[in-house]
Structure 1
Amino acid sequence: MITCIIIDDEPYARDEIAMLLEQEPDIEIVAQCSNAVEAIQAITKLKPQLIFLDIQMPKISGLELAAMLDPDDLPRIVFVTAFDEYAITAFEKQAFDYLLKPIDDKRFANTIARLRKDLTPKVLTPIATEKLAHIPCFSGNKLKVIATEAVQYVYSDVSGVHVATKNEQVHTHMTLRVLAEKTSLIYCHRQYLIAPTAIAEIEIQEGGAEVTTRSGAKVPVSRRYLKQLKQLFGFL
């Protein structure tokens, strides 16, 4: 069962999401909150796997609330708002998805299907995965074949998945999950993969860190992945 909290200052908006979730037998609404203060208390106590979070709320916005949550114990966040100009900022706050009001039934169903797949425990098998020597990419009308060893980092945002080398950034249709499985890239952030060989410096910061690559690019490191990244290079 996927546990869920709905956070919105408008009662009818909470009711709309609750009605949609009634059709999902494996999702349990454990709380509904009308403001960020109530929400923080409920999230801390109930530790839901999923929250639907309105962006525009009085005093403390949904984006500000997301920034207050522990990145090591972060639920899947689906932001809900009537204004699409918040999309990029929402994904920077580690959004799982972004829904516009009024919520489209098909769009909502697609979000739930992705959430269900993401939260389903993965069965590990001993089958070896063949590593990719190249990543198929594109830039405008050009098809690019990027050698995996040339990739410094990869990141995702609302516009897709981007592959960065020393000299350029291009796009790919491959997902971060697949690239993590089939290359030597490792997670340093929920939305970033990085090549260990590209790391020149790790700057420890409050709440995480920032990597400087050998070409001078800056890549965020969340607290969730900082320890294993330090251990990779022998830092205790």
Structure 2
Amino acid sequence: MLKAIVIDDELYAREELNELLVETEQVQVIEQCSNAIEGLKAINTLKPDVVFLDIHMPQITGLDLLGMLDPDTMPKVVFVTAYDEYAVKAFEDNAFDYLLKPVESGRLLKTLKRINAEKLEQPNYEPITASKLELIPCSGFNRILLLAPNEIEIAMSEQTGVHLLTDKDKFTASLSLKVLEEKTDLIRCHRQHLINPTCIREIKLLDNGSAEIVTKSNHHAPVSRRYLKVIKDRFGLM
């Protein structure tokens, strides 16, 4: 069942939409908010799957609130409003859908069907709130492996997923490269590669201004010109 937050400054509109959502038997409304400030706090605290958001609200509009959300972690945002002239702007700002008041049950069901379809296509990992990861979940055959970040020499993003190279093996991580960069001590050396700085054995400088890193276990990772200076600065290299 989808977890939802309804944000609208009109009490009647909130209650009416809440009733429609309950009737679908697909949604649990975990919070109702009367303004964008309350809504932002609820979204960050409760981590809903979907937010039904009014556009016309005093002080901070629904469009303003959408701009405050992190695109990488934001829930599906469905605008619910009486003003259809905002539709184009809503989609430009990464809204998932747009419902006109009064909301029709049939149209609402179509929206929920789309949300559920996308949810099934993606692994459902819990949001990570710790400042640093102590263990990284990796997928295996009928099992979940837990890998300590300091075991990783290289993390790389490929079409088949995010792969982690250790001194002995290769694992497929259940997290994105962005999360690994933010929640571990791995550093970016290339758009698709992270490196453990404690595992660097050699930095080979190339003629085109880029480089290649060789780890203690003889794994190789490219270093783009963009990140080479950052790595040199980290180690005090000229």
Q: Shorter-chain TM-score: which interval?
A: 0.5 to 0.7
Structure-1 residue corresponding to 2:191: 230
CA deviation string 1:207-234 (max 9, x = no partner): xxxxxxxxxxxxxxxxxxxx8x922785
The one-letter amino acid paired with 2:192 is: Q
Which ranges of structure 2 fall in alignment gaps of 5 or more residues? 124-158, 160-187, 194-221, 228-238
**Alpha-carbon shift at residue 116 of structure 1 (Å):** 1.4
Structure 1 Cα separation of the partners of residues 63 and 36 of structure 2: 10
Structure-2 residue corresponding to 1:30: 30
**Alpha-carbon shift at residue 122 of structure 1 (Å):** 4.9
The one-letter amino acid paired with 1:59 is: Q
**The residue matched to 2:77 in structure 1 has which SS?**
strand
Structure-2 residue corresponding to 1:93: 93
Asked whether the 8 Å contact 2:35–2:57 carries over to 1, the reply is yes
1:78 aligns with 2:78: yes
CA deviation string 1:17-46 (max 9, x = no partner): 101111233321110000011011111110
The one-letter amino acid paired with 2:79 is: F
**Alpha-carbon shift at residue 91 of structure 1 (Å):** 0.3
Larger Cα-atom Rg: 2
Asked whether the 8 Å contact 2:24–2:109 carries over to 1, the reply is no
Q: When the two structures are superposed, what TM-score results if normalisation uses the length of structure 1?
A: 0.52
Which ranges of structure 1 fall in alignment gaps of 5 or more residues? 124-185, 187-226
Structure 2 Cα separation of the partners of residues 122 and 38 of structure 1: 29
**Alpha-carbon shift at residue 93 of structure 1 (Å):** 1.3
Asked whether the 8 Å contact 2:36–2:62 carries over to 1, the reply is yes
Structure 2 Cα separation of the partners of residues 41 and 2 of structure 1: 19
**Alpha-carbon shift at residue 121 of structure 1 (Å):** 4.4
**Alpha-carbon shift at residue 90 of structure 1 (Å):** 0.2
User: Could you list the runs of 4 or more consecutive aligned residues of structure 1 that deviate by over 4 angstroms after TM superposition?
Assistant: 232-236
Structure 2 Cα separation of the partners of residues 15 and 96 of structure 1: 22
1:97-108 aligned at under 5 Å gives the runs 97-108=97-108
Higher strand share: 1
Structure 2 Cα separation of the partners of residues 29 and 42 of structure 1: 12
1:34-45 aligned at under 5 Å gives the runs 34-45=34-45
1:1-236 aligned at under 5 Å gives the runs 1-122=1-122, 230-231=191-192, 235=224
**Alpha-carbon shift at residue 109 of structure 1 (Å):** 1.3
**Alpha-carbon shift at residue 105 of structure 1 (Å):** 1.9
> Number of aligned pairs?
134
The one-letter amino acid paired with 2:73 is: D
Structure 2 Cα separation of the partners of residues 120 and 66 of structure 1: 24
Structure 1 Cα separation of the partners of residues 118 and 108 of structure 2: 15
Structure 2 Cα separation of the partners of residues 234 and 69 of structure 1: 32
The one-letter amino acid paired with 1:119 is: K
**The residue matched to 1:95 in structure 2 has which SS?**
coil
Structure 2 Cα separation of the partners of residues 117 and 59 of structure 1: 35
